[in-house]
Amino acid sequence: MDTTLQDPLVGQVLDGRYRVDARIAVGGMATVYRAMDTRLDRILALKVMHPSLAADASFVERFIREAKSVARLAHPNVVQVFDQGAEGAYVYLAMEYIAGCTLRDVLRERGALQPRAALDILEPVLAALGAAHRAGFVHRDMKPENVLIGDDGRVKVADFGLVRAVDSVTNTTGTVLGTVSYLAPEQIDAGVADPRVDVYACGILLYEMLTGEKPHDGDSPAIVLYKHLHDDVPPPSSAVAGMAYELDELVATATARNPEARPYDAVALLARTREARGRLDDAQLDAVPPQALGSEHDPHDNTNDRTSVIPRAPALPRPLPLDGDEDPVRHTSRLQSPPPLPPRRRTALPRGPMAIVVAVLLALGLGAGVWYINSGQFTKVPPLLTKTEQEARDRLADAGLDVGGVEEAYSDTVERGKVIATDPKAGARIRGNDSVSLTVSKGPRTVRVPDLDGYPLDKARSLLEDEGLRPGMTTEEFSETVAAGSVIGTEPGKGTKVRADSAVALTVSRGRPVDVPDVAGDDVADARAELEEAGLKVKIAEERVNSEHDAGEVARQSPAPGRQAAEGDTVTLTLSKGPEMVEVPDVVGDSVGDARERLEGAGFRVKEDRGLLGLFGDTVKGQSVDGGDTAPKGSTITLEIR
């Protein structure tokens, strides 16, 4: 049944411009329609707020304010906002229409994606978010529903800035569950929303694309929220055996529960994503997800729009098939099918009691030896990234491996006390009972911004570098108390704990401010004395210019009079070579309008002298400088009008 027929907006024209043709989607905040802009004759998407929200004046004000801000965000991977308006109870946005589907549609239909496809979607999403983050926006509601995939393959992010506060989504409706699945711990715990909450949500998106399932699921939003707060996102390889370690690492980095351990914005995560892709070979990028190989189970349970969990057992060594038996591996995973085995030669065995002895020896000795050599002697290093040291030790023990040693190192991406590297790496083939060395995070290396007040700029920069920090942007301000060239303050302020290698901005004194006196028209000696008395230095420009001032006097100065300069700054004086002499046009007998036009065109100012007899006259009877004579350009010519 076409529900759009029951929608009162379908068929209407909003604001005398937008004809509503069909309903596309309904969300918790608004309904989206396909519409026609009748002025520009183009198809667009019209997002209309639900009337219950449109009745809230403060919400509408925020909606419009953020829409105007987002409209300025121009990026090829961002759904553009064209217009906003209101008519009666309808408050709407006119947006770019994308013919295609959402990432949610793709995940429902296909489940887990190949790593290459997942990264091909993630990278433009991060590019869009990165542009927003650098422009001062935080999306705050990243989820598959807001990732649009056009029929031409373009990926675009929708709903920038037009999202709900945390307390408005922690209810128990089924639609909300899809939203809480992507909330960062700090959004839940404190309502904090900076670029790192989008980074966290993108880590969840990547996990879901790689595995076909959400990392945290539950029967109620409260359970999901609890898991975000208290449980780490598991590595994708725990759900999909054989997943590349680099993808585990990327997900763990983006979804660290401590926001300080995540990349600081989407630009930083995009760089890490491209770096991870560069370390993967074609076989790893094009690995086929298990459900694409004809699994008996439907990987998607669309109840409440959630993805069901697909248990996938890790690859285990299996006994070799006996002659005439079907390969048992073939029934469990076609991905793990072993290469064809050469036929074994049949050997005539002795008969009688000796035959029993030989058979037992073969079974207990030779048979066990074959299994040991081919499979039991080796295992793989389990994924340990982001696990605590004790969790890593337990996993290694379960795999029959020892801990070879534990080192600590600083990490900007993994919280303190958790594993950031192993040697050998996860997935590496290793002999049973061998050892694996762990590197555990000490957290990000932090230092305090030193007190640089009063230090000369060069010394302050050196002190920052000694502390492991970088000198950032330098700005200048006037100061009555700090000498010119010395530091007034820093941003962040002194004593603030920051990550090592962070940039620290410096504010440097220009010295005491001085009001520049006006010396135009003064002779050089008087001008110099006045400027030096104010604490300024004087420089005479080589060129001279024509001006209204006499030759040798100051024609102009830089900085201009009335401006502020620092004590000790230099004022450049340009001297006059006298006024430029210009021939005066003869305007006697002309009308006043024509005379004024000719004189002003020649560079003169004009004054009228009408007297009592010329109040209503319009003819020039005389001029203060005769026509044909010269006068200084810019001087005034008086006209006698009768």
What are the backbone angles phi and psi of residue 99, rounded to the nearest 5°? -80, 115
In sequence order, what are the beta bridge partners of 637? 606
Strand 147-150 and strand 402-409: the pairing is: unpaired
For residues 468 and 502, give the distance between their C-alpha atoms in angstroms, rounded to a whole number.
Answer: 8
Q: Are 389 and 438 in contact (CB under 8 A)?
A: yes
Half-sphere exposure at residue 625, Cβ-oriented, CA atoms within 13 angstroms: 19
Q: Residue 377 corresponds to which tokens in the numbers above?
A: 């002697």
Mark 24-44 as b/e (b = at least 16 C-beta within 10 Å).
eeeeebbbbbbbbbeeeeeeb
For residues 491 and 496, give the distance between their C-alpha atoms in angstroms, rounded to a whole number.
Answer: 9
How far is Cα of residue 263 from the mean position of the Cα atoms in its chain? 10
Strand 513-515 and strand 487-491: the pairing is: unpaired
Q: Are 138 and 193 in contact (CB under 8 A)?
A: yes
Residues 6+ apart with CB under 8 A from 50: 29, 30, 31
Residue 305, helix vs strand vs coil: helix
For residues 445 and 502, give the distance between their C-alpha atoms in angstroms, rounded to a whole number.
Answer: 10
For residues 157 and 143, give the distance between their C-alpha atoms in angstroms, rounded to a whole number.
Answer: 10
Please state whether the peptide bond connecting residue 450 to the residue before it is cis, i.e. omega within 30 degrees of 0.
no
Residues 6+ apart with CB under 8 A from 166: 183, 187, 188, 191, 193
Which residue, among 482, 438, 479, has the nearest Cα to 460 in the 3D structure? 482
Q: Are 454 and 422 in contact (CB under 8 A)?
A: no
Residue 254 is given by DSSP the state: H
**Residue 215: Cβ-neighbour burial (10 angstroms; 0-12, 13-18, 19+):** buried
Active-site residue, from 141, 159, 198, 265: 141
For residues 363 and 350, give the distance between their C-alpha atoms in angstroms, rounded to a whole number.
Answer: 15
Q: Residue 80 corresponds to which tokens in the numbers above?
A: 């553009």
> Which region, left, alpha or beta, applies to residue 424 given φ > 0 means left and ψ of -120 to 50 means alpha?
beta
Please state whether the peptide bond connecting residue 559 to the residue before it is cis, i.e. omega within 30 degrees of 0.
yes
Residues 6+ apart with CB under 8 A from 570: 536, 537, 538, 539
Instruction: Write the single-letter amino acid at 336.
Output: Q
For the question of residue 141 being annotated catalytic, the response is: yes
For residues 245 and 120, give the distance between their C-alpha atoms in angstroms, rounded to a whole number.
Answer: 18
For residues 373 and 619, give the distance between their C-alpha atoms in angstroms, rounded to a whole number.
Answer: 121
Residues 6+ apart with CB under 8 A from 381: 399, 401, 422, 424, 425, 426, 427, 428, 430, 436
How many Cβ atoms from other residues are within 10 Å of residue 560's Cβ? 11
What are the backbone angles phi and psi of residue 196, rounded to the nearest 5°? -70, -20
Which residue, among 275, 272, 208, 271, has the nearest Cα to 236 in the 3D structure? 208
Give the residue ranges of DSSP H helices in 257-412. 266-278, 282-285, 353-361, 368-371, 389-398
Q: Which residues are catalytic?
A: 141
